Amino acid sequence: MPGLQLRNIRKAFKGTEVLAGVDLDVAPREFIAFLGPSGSGKSTLLRIVAGLETSDEGEVILDDRRIDTLPPGDRGVAMVFQHYALYPHMTVRENMAFGLKNARVPRAEIDGLVTDAARTLEIEELLDRKPAQMSGGQRQRVAIGRAIVKKPRLFLLDEPLSNLDAALRLRTRVELAQLRQRVDAGVIMVTHDQAEAMTLADRIVVFNDRRIQQVAPPMEIYSRPANSFVARFVGSPAMTIIPARLADGGAFASVLLGNGTRLDTQVPTDGLPGSGAVEIGMRPEGVRVCGQGQGTTDAEVQLVERLGERSLVYARLDDGAAITAEDAGTTSAKVGDRVGLSIDGAAAHLFGPDGTGYHRAAA
Amino acid sequence: MTSAERRWQGLLFVAPFLLLYLLILIYPLLRGLWLSLYQVDLFGGGTFVGLANYARLAADPVFGQSLINTFLVTLMIVPLLTVVALALALALNRATRSAAILRGVFFSSAVLSVTIVTLIWRFILAPDAGLLGELWTALGREPLPFLSAPNLVLPALAMTTIWWSVGFPMLLFLAGLQQIPQDMYEAAALDRASKWTTFWRVTLPSLRRTTILVVMLQTAAQLQIFGQSQLLTAGGPSGASRTAVLFLFETAFGRWELGYASAAAEILFLIILAVTLTQYMLTGRVRAGEDGR
């Protein structure tokens, strides 16, 4: 089977487990983002694929070849490091040629590959400079160029944009997206920036606590989070998740919030856990601010964030539950106001006692 | 507070160091220069003789031989010492307990006084009962008379000195090695670099500044080699291991010719200055750019 397969990867550092049996299939030419908080094991997994760490257990298979027993250079992967890791005493050209030289590629061929990659990345005029004579963005390109010339079957990017300033990060993100169209290889990118993951990846792998929490395309991660961790981690601002009780209902679940408000969701009753205690999750765009008494429930405004085209209103229900709502950019809501909240029950998510997510039936 | 006051206050902070510096470095330097123009002994006043001391030095074969010996022994010590220190640093640059212990062991010789060092090495080098002599005999060979053969005595001095001085350069190299970011080695591993290639293309270029520092410090230090030569062989046999500083010492405190000795000291000072400056210029073109990655 072409592509990358990870089978039951386990890893512990000095008795502390960091990966507890991870399985993952990556299709050829697929762009995968490893997303998760620090210490969730995502970087370790990338380094295991690269061969910079060895797994305690499990197999790494790339294009039908088991590679976890091979040295890093023989695996057919190329890596872009977070801090670039360029060789400071070599010129850009030498940096890019180093791996090819070590692989005994003929000189003429090396020159051609380096020139091509430099043209693609628009760094031709930098070829004779040394890393210290370049800006962070330029070094980043060289690091990418050094990976491209090797024509790997898989690119591994370790937080590639985290060292760039905000403007450059956006531009490089676009360029990465264009670049991946041109290379005939898969990409795995480690990031803790969900915007990067959402915009670049075909599928996102969400890590937390030594395990993969969910593997899915970006919009599915956003709209159908597998559990409450994914729901909270993806989306900015985070999804509001508050305790609720299941109420009697028909085919779709209805819940009672802590202050007694009843919400009718579109989550099918079938398969919901039996006990009545659940959590309900609402994205801010599913909760609108309206006049007092006109919405689903009333709340008191705690904080207003004006973002320009819209405002975020952080409010508190009578029972103290915090809830984030959206309003127009011209909102008149002020701290301390009592407002109504119109909650779109159809957009709400339910989470069982173990955190498992339940969503409206797929369209 | 006016800026003038602030300047004076700043000066007060550095005053203790400055005074000490003037007293124990600048004053003796000038005093030596002054002495070198006089014929003066340890007890009496002197007579001004101009450059006569320098003219005498130029014609003194003993001084000439001592300079040659000094250069030879420096040439034997510095390259080998640098390589040995680097090799030790490479071998001991790991976080294991045994490496930590061995780092201490190899550094320990540096804290010994030259008296102890030469005492130890006398036991090693002595042909009749020394360690090397015994070894040679065990191998069925005639023991080498390290301290009495004119062509073996400088290598013997060099060996002793390397053993004594290897600790500090080793520490400098260890510090240099730890400055090299780990991800550069990881990049090299992904670039299929062999261990050998990694050493030549990643490690060694990254240690360029450290190597220059070690060579410059050691050259300046070994051109002043003294204690080993005085205590191990007293400059013998027949001046074959007399170094420049030993010549100074003998002239000043053996023959009481302070002016003559000072002139020799000035010459040695100029030589060391010239060598160091040349090294600095030759290597000073380390492009400022090589810090970044």
- ipTM for the whole complex: 0.85
| Angle (deg, nearest 10), helices B258-283 and B27-35 | 120
B34 Cβ contact list (under 8 Å, min separation 6): none
Domain ranges of chain A: 4-233, 240-358
**CB distance A89–B191 less than 8 Å?**
no
Where would I find the H helices in chain A? 42-50, 92-102, 107-121, 136-148, 166-182, 194-200, 218-223, 228-233
Tell whether B205 is covered by a domain. yes
Q: Which of B189, B289, B293 shows the shortest C-beta gap to A86?
A: B293
Q: Are residues B97 and B43 both part of a single domain? A: no
Structure tokens belonging to residue B256 = 């009481």
Q: Are residues B86 and B223 both part of a single domain? A: yes
Q: How far is A76 from chain B (nearest CA, A)?
A: 9
Q: How far is A39 from chain B (nearest CA, A)?
A: 19
* Residue B133 pLDDT: 75
Please say if the pLDDT value at position B292 is more than 50: no
Tell whether B45 is covered by a domain. yes
* Residue B119 pLDDT: 86
A35 Cβ contact list (under 8 Å, min separation 6): A42, A191, A192, A194, A197, A204, A205, A206, A207, A233, A234
**CB distance B183–A102 less than 8 Å?**
no
Q: What is the mean pLDDT of chain B?
A: 86
Tell whether B18 is covered by a domain. no
Q: For chain B, how are helix, strand and coil distributed in percent, rounded to 5?
A: 75, 0, 25
Q: How far is A213 from chain B (nearest CA, A)?
A: 29
Tell whether B273 is covered by a domain. yes
Q: Are residues B45 and B181 both part of a single domain? A: no
- Residues B115-144: tens digit of each pLDDT: 888 888 888 887 777 787 777 777 877 777
Cα–Cα dist B289/A139, whole Å = 14
β pairing state of A203-208 and A186-191: unpaired
* Residue B215 pLDDT: 92
Q: Which of A52, A87, A130 shows the shortest C-beta gap to B184?
A: A87
Q: Are residues B200 and B261 both part of a single domain? A: no
The answer to whether the bond into B237 is cis (omega within 30° of 0) is yes
- Residues B135-176: tens digit of each pLDDT: 777 787 777 777 777 888 888 889 999 999 999 999 999 999
* Residue B109 pLDDT: 85
Please say if the pLDDT value at position B293 is more than 50: no
Choose which CATH entry (2.40.50.140, 1.25.40.10, 1.10.760.10, 2.40.160.20) describes domain A240-358: 2.40.50.140
Residue B44's pLDDT band (boundaries 50, 70, 90)? low
Mind listing the pLDDT tens digit of every residue in chain A (363 residues)?
889 999 999 999 988 999 998 999 999 999 999 999 988 889 999 999 999 999 999 999 999 999 999 999 999 999 999 999 999 999 999 999 999 999 999 999 999 999 999 998 888 999 999 999 998 889 988 999 999 999 999 999 999 888 888 888 888 888 888 888 888 899 999 998 888 899 999 999 999 989 999 999 999 999 999 999 999 999 888 899 999 988 877 888 888 888 888 888 898 888 787 777 899 999 999 999 988 888 889 999 999 999 989 999 999 998 889 999 999 988 888 899 899 999 998 899 999 988 899 998 876
Q: Which CATH architecture has domain A4-233?
A: 3-Layer(aba) Sandwich (3.40)
* Residue B285 pLDDT: 56
Q: Are residues B79 and B214 both part of a single domain? A: yes
Judge whether A349 and A239 are in contact, CB under 8 Å.
yes
Tell whether B21 is covered by a domain. no
Tell whether B216 is covered by a domain. yes
Q: Which residue segment(s) compose the domain that B186 sits in?
A: 71-112+150-242
Q: How far is B180 from chain A (nearest CA, A)?
A: 10
Nearest 5°: phi and psi at B34?
-65, -45
Number of structural domains found in chain B = 2
Which chain B residues have a beta carbon less than 8 Å from that of A146?
187, 191
Q: Are residues B173 and B211 both part of a single domain? A: yes
The answer to pTM > 0.90 is no
**CB distance B208–A103 less than 8 Å?**
no
Tell whether B106 is covered by a domain. yes
* Residue B42 pLDDT: 67
Q: How far is A247 from chain B (nearest CA, A)?
A: 56
- Of chain B, the percentage scoring pLDDT greater than 70 comes to 95
Longest dimension (CA), chain A: 77
**CB distance A73–B290 less than 8 Å?**
no
Which chain B residues have a beta carbon less than 8 Å from that of A102?
191-194, 197
Structure tokens belonging to residue A255 = 């819940």
> H or E segment at B122?
helix B114-125
**CB distance A102–B191 less than 8 Å?**
yes
CB pairs under 8 A between A and B: 88
Q: How far is B117 from chain A (nearest CA, A)?
A: 40
**CB distance B292–A132 less than 8 Å?**
yes
Q: Are residues B76 and B53 both part of a single domain? A: no
**CB distance B184–A98 less than 8 Å?**
no
Q: Are residues B177 and B277 both part of a single domain? A: no
**CB distance B206–A89 less than 8 Å?**
yes
Say how many CA atoms lie within 13 Å of B110 toward its Cβ: 13
**CB distance A79–B189 less than 8 Å?**
no
Q: What is the mean pLDDT of residues B233-243?
A: 84
Nearest CA in chain B to A99: B191
